[in-house]
Structure 1
Amino acid sequence: MAKQKAHAAQKESTATGKPAKRKPAKRSESAKTKSKQKLSKADYKAEMERLQLELVKMQEWVKHAGLKVVVIFEGRDAAGKGGVIKRIHDCLNPRGCRIVALGKPTEREQTQWYFQRYVAHLPAAGEIVLFDRSWYNRAGVERVMGFCTHAEYTEFIRTCPEFEHMLQRSGIILVKYWFSVSDEEQERRFQDRISDPTKRWKLSPMDLEARARWVEYSKAKDDMFAMTDTTRSPWYVVDADDKKRARLNCINHLLSLIPYKDLTPEPIVLPERQVAIDYERPPLESQTFIPEPF
């Protein structure tokens, strides 16, 4: 029955030329109750280590099978996107997994096809690309702050599903996450950033301006979902009020979307080090060592 509904939705999309809409999934009472349970540090650490080991296996399979993976992380400021990206990237080989966080477009980029500067960062075979914000900037900050015209926004929101379908037809696995955080929790995290000098850089003038336009951002997000949460390329929403639980849930879900086989090699045995027969180290006094105040 589920397959028939999905086929019907795709058929409707083809017939009308518009992306098929998806009904939002309802959260069960058990899920809501579970989200309130405190996750101990020990349990979090154990689960994170287990999931990161699976991420390593997944990356080996991506490389072996020549897969091309794009994961988009979007959401409100202070929703915890960066924390999840860090936990994914830290345990993977950086030669095959990279983070893309593009800044303000240059004057030259502003004259290009909108998607062009993102296309340059798409993966080759065997690569994983994590987009810390993405082409959806046009649906959010650019629209709300007036950085694009209404015509440019309309063109984007109309062609975005087509662009993503084109990527998928070319063999790219595209996963889109939206991190949802409550107003109260976002406020708490903002205050934490203000009081902590090591986190203050995370609070930009744009973040402050966004607070004054909260309603506009909310409407922009709703419009974005209405047009781009499609059967082919759905948005997956992460309840991010609990950072640790959000990290575990997101990584676990990502692993479920990319079937992989365990290609763990045999344990590595270090060969014997070459014996220094005709080599003598230079005296330590001939080298410049850094000071050691600790």
Structure 2
Amino acid sequence: MKNETLDLLAHEERIRAELLDSFDEELEEEIDDQRLAKLLDNAAEQPEISGLDRTLYFKELFRLQRELVKLQDWIATNKKKAVVIFEGRDAAGKGGVIKRVTQRLNPRVCRVVALPAPSEREKSQWYFQRYAPHLPAGGELVLFDRSWYNRAGVERVMGFCTEDEVEEFFRSVADFERMLVRSGITLIKYWFSISDSEQHFRFQMRIHDPLKQWKLSPMDLQSRVRWEAYTKAKESMLERTHIAEAPWWVVEADDKKRARLNCIAHLLSQFPYEEVQRPLAELPPRVHNPDYIREPIAESMYVPRKY
């Protein structure tokens, strides 16, 4: 009975931590750097305060995001090209990391590619053809939320392609990626690794959280049934596509916050970027014309003042 009570308390604590993580996402977007830093400095003076790990997480996240802005400016100024691939099981946390990478960046420089299932026309094309239009030009950073490695993972496990097509993918992908690197693209590949029990827990949270139920698809449910098949497919993929020009990097992702910080820190380490010095902008004076009259706007056009 005592063990059951402890297990229940531990489970409740995990649910609480998951809900806090969702709340933290809102804080990250709503609180600006300086106010957050001041708030956290005050919190750090109180060792007894609960959630001190969250304090460290926020401090490191904002520090790394400031570095990402420097990386963005360096890529744009020097016309560099970069592709980052995010792969992993469903609910492994890929989207959470991508969100925090892009959160404060210019979408004209850094963009996310998350392609839907291929159309009938795309199925008849060269396999890599539908990915090619999304590759970066000079001064761009492209993040693939899943990529051409769908063929070695979900397509293979779910029977959406033949084993001959999988073998052809393995024969071609290394040459394809070497061509990208030779063209001047920095190619970085991440695999987010989570345990069986952690994926089960995250799926349960999605089932019971109305704000996250949209994340749970029939394909996600099948991934639970075929856990071992996905494991075998992953092991084969990593073994056969880990090349010197574009190696795989495995992110331990059972702890979401650590995974985010570790991945972003590693991503930054893959570029010899430097801060781009810019002259401080000066705001020009507003021009006032004595004959300018601001026309009134009809009250019916305003959004109702409910708050």
- Does TM, normalized by the shorter one, top 0.5? yes
Match for residue 258 of structure 1?
A: 271
Aligned pairs for 1:18-57 (under 5 A) are: 40-57=53-70
Match for residue 197 of structure 2?
A: 184
- Is 1:77 matched up with 2:90? yes
Moved over 6 A (4+): none
1:266 Cα offset (Å):
3.2
* Conserved? CA contact 1:67–1:127, under 8 Å: yes
Match for residue 120 of structure 2?
A: 107
- Is 1:143 matched up with 2:156? yes
2:244 to 231, 236, 257: 231
Match for residue 278 of structure 1?
A: 291
Task: Give SS of 2:210's match.
Answer: coil
Match for residue 117 of structure 1?
A: 130
Task: Give a deviation string over 1:203-254, Cα, whole Å, max 9, x none.
Answer: 1000101111111110000000110012221100011111111111101100
Q: 1:276 to 1:241 in 2, by over 3 A?
A: farther
1:285 Cα offset (Å):
3.0
Aligned amino acid, residue 285 of structure 2: E
1:175 to 188, 213, 228: 188
Task: Give SS of 1:277's match.
Answer: coil
1:264 Cα offset (Å):
3.8
Runs (5+) with no aligned partner, structure 1: 1-37
Give the Cα separation in 2 of the matches to 1:137 and 1:270: 49
Match for residue 33 of structure 1?
A: none
Task: Give SS of 1:198's match.
Answer: coil
Give the Cα separation in 2 of the matches to 1:137 and 1:65: 32
Task: Give SS of 2:290's match.
Answer: coil
1:276 Cα offset (Å):
4.1
1:91 Cα offset (Å):
1.0
Give the Cα separation in 1 of the matches to 2:85 and 2:283: 39
Aligned amino acid, residue 203 of structure 1: L
Query: Please, what is the CA RMSD of the aligned residues?
Result: 1.3
Give the Cα separation in 1 of the matches to 2:172 and 2:201: 37
Give the Cα separation in 2 of the matches to 1:95 and 1:39: 36
Give the Cα separation in 1 of the matches to 2:281 and 2:54: 31
Aligned amino acid, residue 135 of structure 1: W
* Conserved? CA contact 1:98–1:128, under 8 Å: yes
Match for residue 245 of structure 1?
A: 258
Aligned pairs for 1:188-227 (under 5 A) are: 188-227=201-240
1:289 Cα offset (Å):
0.5
Give the Cα separation in 1 of the matches to 2:141 and 2:245: 20
Task: Give a deviation string over 1:103-135, Cα, whole Å, max 9, x none.
Answer: 110111001000000011000000000000000
Aligned amino acid, residue 103 of structure 2: D
Task: Give SS of 1:40's match.
Answer: helix
Which of structures 1 and 2 has the larger relative contact order (alpha carbons within 8 angstroms, sep 6+)? 1
1:268 Cα offset (Å):
2.7
Give the Cα separation in 2 of the matches to 1:278 and 1:235: 65
* Conserved? CA contact 1:238–1:250, under 8 Å: yes
Aligned pairs for 1:283-294 (under 5 A) are: 283-285=296-298, 288-294=301-307
1:284 Cα offset (Å):
3.5
Aligned pairs for 1:154-173 (under 5 A) are: 154-173=167-186
Q: 1:192 to 1:276 in 2, by over 3 A?
A: farther
* Identity between Structure 1 and Structure 2 (%): 60
- Is 1:87 matched up with 2:87? no
When normalised by structure 1's length, the TM-score is: 0.85
Q: 1:93 to 1:191 in 2, by over 3 A?
A: same
